[in-house]
Structure 1
Amino acid sequence: MVKSNHERWHQTKAVIGRMIRQLKSTLVHSAVQIGGKTPAPNSCDMIRSGELSKYPLAILDKLLTVYGKDGACAYDIGCAFTKTLGNSSLGPRARQLGFRLMVGAFHGHAHNRKCQLDWHPVYIMGTGHSEGEGCEHIFSASNALARGTRHASTFHWHQTIEQHFTFWNDDKYAALSNFLWNHHREALKLVQILTAELTAIKAELNIVDEDFPHYLQEELAYLDSLKQPPARDQICICYVEALDELAEQRTDWDSARQAANNALTGIAASSLEKINQALAQAHICHTEALVAHVEIQLAVEARWEIGGPEYNQFKMEARLGKYRTALNELEHLVVM
């Protein structure tokens, strides 16, 4: 039996209504469980609302209450969220307790170098070897639940999640002694090895411990002052690119002229070759004008030769710029 569009619309509307009610009940149920006897008390479903600022603020309120002074928390946007925390009602208490936000080592690769110097755990005293990505390990362990809960009811959805984290918590608790022992032994070994290596490096370079913070401050000052490459360097890179384009177009011009000279006497073929030759000549004239204009800006007396020292220097700068741009984009795509 073929159903009318009107009937289909009413059925679709009913299904959507049930889904919305289910999501609402899921959100409320999870909110009730916060602080209760759940395996992960500081968690809730964010299906309906998305990742709003109120959720990390609620978690930070819990962390400040439980752990007190000199605490730290890694958040994928901890650099930007610090302002939100400071402007919230938790700001005075967080400052009083010396609370510190940072960006996890994994998500830090999507941030620029200056941000990493301020927020990466490796540059923050007291973080040790923590990468600040504990939640990612939990997410990785719970990803297998997605296919079993996608179309489940609200009850079975939460039942599956609660069972998973109950067993996960029991397994972690059972292995806690070995975990602490192995990590303690590994930490002692690393302290011994790295201390010896660092002592040798400091003796070889004739530096002391107080020099390392100065190096970071110098790098920060350099990055603050270097918003863009010097104007002359940018023009030189444009000049090199224009020279490459001119050389390529001259090659095309020579090919077009050779083809025109070797063309048959047919009218159609001859006309086509002449058109290509005229276009190639027009491109050369345009690029010649661009090269001449850049040479005036740089006060170049003799045109740089392709393969010369000045050309090679800024050709490498252009390649490095493209490489860094591609690398930053790749790291951003991998993380995000």
Structure 2
Amino acid sequence: MMVCKSEGKGCEHVFSIEEHFAFWNADKYEALKHSYFSALKHPPPQDILKICYVHNTAHEAANRALSLVIEGDLNMMAAAINQACIQVDLVYAKLQNAEALAAHLQGQLGLKLPWEVGGEEYMHYKEEATLSKYHEALDEVECLVIMHLFELSKLRMSQTGK
């Protein structure tokens, strides 16, 4: 234990050292947090384009639009047909947008022919898209755990769960 001088300069010196290390510690935690989050990996831009290309197959949405048929009186059937027509128009607009985006992506990727659904490259990047979603969810969980650990360490409670 340090004895303070009568003028209090010794205590000020100890206090300033303690403040220096507290600030240094907080600064290091912030730098560690920043480096961790910036180090999370992202797929290469070319793979992102290919995954986006696979996601833009709008024909599945068009097929789902008319899959439900309601049996009943004529008024209910007319309402269902009217609703189906609205859905077809919406899906058709989405299909046109998806085709335009697919053509743009084909140009960006330098593809001479579009990929066939079920083809080797298509299936590879469809799997990549699924894995990408999984890794995004995993990264989010990992990020939340790390943030929680940082908060616990700030409260000096990081080792209370042993």
TM-score class normalised by the smaller sequence = 0.5 to 0.7
Q: Percent identity?
A: 31
Contact kept? 1:235, 1:294, Cα under 8 Å:
yes
Q: Equivalent of 1:249, from 61, 66, 86?
A: 61
Closer, same or farther in 2 for the Cα pair 1:59/1:254, shift >3 Å?
closer
For 1:76 and 1:254, how far apart are their aligned partners in 2?
Answer: 59
**Which residue identity does 1:252 align to in structure 2?**
R
Greater RCO, CA 8 A, separation 6+: 2
Q: Does 1:234 align with 2:48?
A: yes
Structure 1 gap ranges (5+): 1-33, 37-53, 62-74, 82-102, 115-222
Instruction: Give aligned pairs, total.
Output: 132
Closer, same or farther in 2 for the Cα pair 1:268/1:249, shift >3 Å?
closer
For 1:332 and 1:296, how far apart are their aligned partners in 2?
Answer: 36
Deviation at 1:234, TM superposition (A): 2.0
Deviation at 1:316, TM superposition (A): 2.9
Deviations 1:239-262 (A, max 9, x none): 01113xx14313224527xx49x8
Q: Equivalent of 1:288, from 75, 99, 117?
A: 99
Structure-1 residue corresponding to 2:36: 111
Contact kept? 2:51, 2:126, Cα under 8 Å:
yes
Structure-1 residue corresponding to 2:84: 273
Closer, same or farther in 2 for the Cα pair 1:35/1:304, shift >3 Å?
farther
Closer, same or farther in 2 for the Cα pair 1:318/1:242, shift >3 Å?
same
For 1:309 and 1:247, how far apart are their aligned partners in 2?
Answer: 19
Deviation at 1:236, TM superposition (A): 0.8
Contact kept? 2:59, 2:95, Cα under 8 Å:
no
Closer, same or farther in 2 for the Cα pair 1:328/1:57, shift >3 Å?
farther
Instruction: Please give the TM-score of this superposition, normalised by the length of structure 2.
Output: 0.57
For 1:79 and 1:269, how far apart are their aligned partners in 2?
Answer: 60
Q: Equivalent of 1:78, from 7, 15, 28?
A: 28
Deviations 1:234-288 (A, max 9, x none): 2111101113xx14313224527xx49x897545444333222322222222222
Contact kept? 2:51, 2:128, Cα under 8 Å:
yes
